[in-house]
Structure 1
Amino acid sequence: MSSIITGLSPVALYEHDLKDEAKSASDYAKTDATVTNYTSSFEEDAVTITSASALMKNYKALSVVLGAYGLGSIQNSTALVKDLLTQNPTDPKSVSAKSGNAAWTAFAKAFAAFDTSGSSASTTSPFADQSTVDSIVTKYDEKSYETALEAQQSTSGVGNALYFTRTMTTGMTVDQIMSDSTLLKVVETVSGYNPTQFGVLDYDEQKRLIEKTYNASDFSSEANIQKYAERYLAILQFNPQTVTQPASLLSLYGSDGTSDPTLSLFGITSSGNSLVSSLFG
């Protein structure tokens, strides 16, 4: 039985969980058999995981660790995970440094204590400190809770808003925002773009459009970051994001050439059949 609170508006639920998301997430985790199983296994095995190779061989532990850093999607990318675990994140040639991905860098720095060979036991395991293990479990619970919130139509958006609030930092650049799909989705929405349609564009075009609306003052304090998350939730109330068909360039710019609200978001106006030709001509 899920412990997700029902009967509250998304904004009210967000504000409720914001007071103590760790508790809400912990309560939820106790009702999810998979989350409980994975965290229990990780807590039991953590003391024995003293190398990057040992972590990579322990599926449940790796799931918890990657999930805690919002990197669950790369678990099957073995080479990438190994690079992040074994390369020195301060080396400009390392994958994390070259990527500019804030989440990758945070993950790499957290496990820099592992021997760079990826196989030898490190002198000081990242899991030697119980507080580190507890912190990882808390973050994993929070991410699992946020994912569960997104899966329910009545609470859709709340998980993203909570993740955005605890992950977004002052001074974060456009490139850093774009390296995190959830942060980008929130910023896209508040900027007036439909994330599904926006995703059709290439990286450079996406960045150009985000830079047009990016305002550093929106993220200059925790209070402002929270207000931004609430704006995101408010927008979803009157403009819910649902996908009825796959996005395409034609759907993005208006396949029939008629006036479409999406066009104005990109500063494009046109009529007749000349629209597509003007885009690609």
Structure 2
Amino acid sequence: MVLWRRRLMGLGGISPVAQFLMAQKNEVQTAADSVKGDNTAKRMVSDFQDKAPSITTAKQLMSNYSANQVVLKAYNLSSLSGQQAVEKALLTQDPTSSSSLAQTSRNASWLAFADAFASMGAGHGTASATPFTSDMMASTVSAYEQRQYETSDAQQKNGVGDALYFTRRMQSGKIKTVDDLMADPTLLRVAEVVSGYDPDQFGALDFDQQKRIISNKVDMKTFSQPENVQRYAERYLTQLQIHPSYNSDDKPASMIDLFGGDDGGDGILALFGGSGDGGTSSSGLF
């Protein structure tokens, strides 16, 4: 009984669930304060705020390391920094087109990213005016700060960061299908753990097997109620306390990994019938 209680308690005798509930109360401000104490993150935000107002093309965004990293992390798509052909396709194709990667992938995260830069996509990578309005810059910085906070070592140690992200994302109402959930590696990880699976072992399964299991284990309709999302996140934290080995340093597979993509050339794009630039060679990004 004593061992059980210890497992369910976190740093300083406070359980991860209690830490999660406290962090939820004012995460936006806490995250902003956290970044102020992180010199690297603070410099990235400053550089983004300085450069973003003059960015009108996909090339300019992708060529500016700080600005691009801030934007990608804000959309929980940092993995795309190693898949530039994918990012280029999302920024240079009209997201409303049925043949665009954003549409054919059925990836909610990719579509949200492409929609945010639709003015670039509609102009094949060039917008008539910067998409970074003052409101967009503010929301991007806030989202970046939250992800920076949620993915910090302190918040990842016991799963609190993932629980915060899961709750925020699922309560947005934008994740409606199993495909939407599986397109986001953090959401998928939470579902794996709550369903009783070790993420490392689950990641060894092929995509079809994973989807079949998650479809049988997760009722997406229940997430339409905010309180159900909250309880699910709390179950995730409890499961990690019972099975600490589930929370290893290994990160969950991204959608690119699940689809069998690699780090070179078009990779995953071949699965959607084209290359990063709509059919032309990808030997050069631009």
The answer on 1:216 being equivalent to 2:233 is no
Give per-residue Cα distances to partners, 1:234-262, cap 9 Å, x unaligned: 111111125599xxxxxxxxxxxxxxxxx
Q: 1:166 to 1:244 in 2, by over 3 A?
A: closer
Whether the aligned pair in 2 keeps the contact of 1:88 and 1:112 (CA below 8 Å) is yes
Q: 1:243 to 1:37 in 2, by over 3 A?
A: closer
Q: Deviation of residue 214 (structure 1)?
A: 1.5
Normalised to the residue count of structure 1, the TM-score between the two structures is: 0.79
Paired residues for 1:122-201 under 5 Å: 122-127=127-132, 129-149=133-153, 153=157, 156-168=158-170, 169-170=172-173, 172-201=176-205
* Distance in structure 2 (CA, Å) of the matches to 1:69 and 1:105: 10
**Larger deviation: 214-223 or 181-190?**
214-223
Match of 2:65 among 53, 59, 63: 59
Whether the aligned pair in 2 keeps the contact of 1:114 and 1:124 (CA below 8 Å) is no
Give per-residue Cα distances to partners, 1:143-189, cap 9 Å, x unaligned: 11111046753xx2101101101112446211111111110110111
Q: Deviation of residue 117 (structure 1)?
A: 4.8
* Distance in structure 1 (CA, Å) of the matches to 2:153 and 2:47: 24
Match of 1:18 among 24, 38, 48: 24
* Distance in structure 2 (CA, Å) of the matches to 1:79 and 1:19: 39
**Larger deviation: 100-109 or 13-22?**
13-22
Q: Deviation of residue 118 (structure 1)?
A: 4.6
Normalised to the residue count of structure 2, the TM-score between the two structures is: 0.78
The answer on 1:230 being equivalent to 2:234 is yes
Alignment match, 2:264: none
Q: Deviation of residue 126 (structure 1)?
A: 1.2
RMSD of equivalent CA atoms: 2.1
Paired residues for 1:16-95 under 5 Å: 16-95=22-101
* Distance in structure 2 (CA, Å) of the matches to 1:237 and 1:115: 44
Which SS does the other structure have where 1:114 is aligned? helix
Whether the aligned pair in 1 keeps the contact of 2:156 and 2:162 (CA below 8 Å) is no
Q: 1:216 to 1:77 in 2, by over 3 A?
A: closer
**Residue identity opposite 1:21 in structure 2:** E
* Distance in structure 2 (CA, Å) of the matches to 1:163 and 1:202: 25
Q: Deviation of residue 76 (structure 1)?
A: 2.6
Whether the aligned pair in 1 keeps the contact of 2:62 and 2:68 (CA below 8 Å) is yes
Q: 1:115 to 1:190 in 2, by over 3 A?
A: closer
Q: Point out 4+ residue stretches in structure 1 off by more than 6 angstroms.
A: none
* Distance in structure 2 (CA, Å) of the matches to 1:77 and 1:216: 29
**Residue identity opposite 2:65 in structure 1:** Y
Which SS does the other structure have where 1:75 is aligned? helix
* Distance in structure 2 (CA, Å) of the matches to 1:242 and 1:164: 16
Which 5+ residue runs of structure 2 have no aligned equivalent?
Answer: 1-9, 251-286
Give per-residue Cα distances to partners, 1:63-82, cap 9 Å, x unaligned: 00011000011113221111
* Distance in structure 2 (CA, Å) of the matches to 1:9 and 1:69: 29
Q: Report the count of equivalent residues.
A: 237
Q: 1:33 to 1:179 in 2, by over 3 A?
A: same
Q: 1:119 to 1:84 in 2, by over 3 A?
A: closer
* Distance in structure 2 (CA, Å) of the matches to 1:96 and 1:20: 33
* Distance in structure 2 (CA, Å) of the matches to 1:76 and 1:194: 26
